[in-house]
Structure 1
Amino acid sequence: MYHINEFKKLSGVSARTFRYYDKIGLLKPVSKTEGGHRLYSNTELKKLQQIQFLKTIGFQLSEIKIMLESEEWDWSDSLMKQLSYVMNEKERLSEIEISLRELINGIAIDGEEFRIKKIIDLYNSRDSKENLNINRDKFNIKNTEVLEKLPKMGSSDPDSLEWIALVGQLKKYMQLGYRSTRVQNIIERMAVKKDEDYHDEDAFLEKLWDIRMSPEESQKYNLYPLDQETLNFMEKAYLYYLGNQL
């Protein structure tokens, strides 16, 4: 027989939880001491282990109570339903994860300019049915794998994060002017990375840039909404960089 204090140590469950389990009839003590302390046996310990396991895989206490009391409980059916629930929940949490990454990466680009409107726009754009992947034939891409290399705001892959960081740095130093050494160093890295990621896809990149320069087209293709001032600055800085390479 286990005194409640010993039972707590064995199970790692609080006395408050035991009192609640007793109250709802989920796990009752075998008896009580003269001082009113609950006493438990190995049977209750095994039942508690079952309760904790079922809680871990997502069942509610009300369901667990019925499951452990009923001899006719359909375990296969209930476990399949719980699996379905967990899979749906996994998908929902994955969507939340992507949304959070988009917000974090959006702040990395826009800093203090990142406002609630942009958060809402990003969230609503997730419902867009038309994107670059669906329309890949329109771009006459030599290597369709190039689409997978496009920066994704909700991604944690190193390539996406580097592009996001470069754009964020560019916005940060715009006040220095597009001819400044700091800005040109950022543009140089962008140019090198462009060649690394999109070698021999100049036609695709030109089409993509045309889309990017149009707010309407950018929204249509679910691209992150960069302001026109930043896009114009980036274009000037890049053309200046190319001119110095001649």
Structure 2
Amino acid sequence: MLSIQEVKKQTGVTVRTLRYYDQIGLLLPADKTQGGHRLYGEKEMIKLQEIQFLKSLGFSLSEIKEMLSDERDWKECLQGQLAYVINEKLKLEQIEQILQGLLNSMAIDGKIDLLEVQRLIQLYTKDPQSRETYRNQIFNKSEMELLKLLPNVNRADPDTLEWVSLLAQLKKHMHKGEGAPQVQQIIRRMFEKQEEAFGDNDEFLDKLWNVRKSPEKSKKAGFYPIEPEVLDFLEGASDIYLRNIKKGKGDSG
């Protein structure tokens, strides 16, 4: 038989916890000394290990007590706990995406306010089924696959982070005008990345831009919200870039 102090040394479970387990009927001592001190045998030590194991899986003490009393089916309990953990994991992943999206938004705008936070949370928690249904109304099957190549503001992959940086730089230099060298350099890199991802899928890109230019359509499609004035500036700067490219080709010919 082991005293409560010896159990503490072997398992790391505190005396206070062992006494509490006794009080709630979760782990009763095998016996007591004449002085009333608790004693634990091999059976109790095995049960204590089971309690610690089930606690590590997230079960509450009341659930553990019920499971160890053979009143519940272990398979059912484990399946229920697995479903709970999966659900919590999905919630944490959603929170992670929201936090990453907010960080990327701050990188783009240099600041963030409560209205922006609320708008982004609504975007990231939007029912994915309704978003996919709306996208399917606009894009065909092959174009839906291309949508997966778009940067996702709630991720931290290198491609997304570069797009975030380019958009932030563009907004920073907007006051210099659409034809400013710094702006045109940013536009050039944007076109390079667009070419790398989508090649010459002009029909798809036209559809994408049509959705992006409409705040209502963009919201329904689940796209990151960009201010209309920024999109207008981007469109104007892109037109200048394309004219310069065309002019350069004409001059070289």
Identify the TM-score tier after normalising by the shorter chain.
Answer: 0.7 to 0.9
CA distance 1:81–1:139, shift in 2 (3 Å) = closer
Where in structure 2 are the equivalents of 1:1-246 lying within 5 Å?
1-30=1-30, 39-70=39-70, 72-112=71-111, 114-125=112-123, 126-127=126-127, 129-131=129-131, 134-136=134-136, 138-139=138-139, 144-245=144-245, 246=248
Shift of residue 73, structure 1, vs aligned partner: 3.0
Deviations 1:72-121 (A, max 9, x none): 43222222322333333333333333333322322222231x22222222
SS at match of 1:25: coil
SS at match of 2:131: coil
User: Quick one: percent identity of the two aligned structures?
Assistant: 48
Shift of residue 179, structure 1, vs aligned partner: 3.8
Equivalent-residue separation in structure 1 for 2:9 and 2:237 (angstroms): 66
Please state which structure has a larger fraction of its residues in helix.
2
Equivalent-residue separation in structure 1 for 2:56 and 2:173 (angstroms): 50
SS at match of 1:154: coil
Query: Tell me, which stretches of 5 or more residues in structure 1 are unaligned?
Result: none
Q: Quick check: 1:149–1:159 contact (8 Å CA) kept in 2?
A: no
- The letter for the 2-side match of 1:89 is E
Deviations 1:124-162 (A, max 9, x none): 331365436753463457654311101223334332332
Equivalent-residue separation in structure 2 for 1:22 and 1:220 (angstroms): 57
SS at match of 1:149: coil
TM-score normalised to structure 1 length: 0.81
Equivalent-residue separation in structure 1 for 2:240 and 2:21 (angstroms): 72
CA distance 1:45–1:108, shift in 2 (3 Å) = farther
- The letter for the 1-side match of 2:72 is W
TM-score normalised to structure 2 length: 0.79
Equivalent-residue separation in structure 1 for 2:141 and 2:68 (angstroms): 59
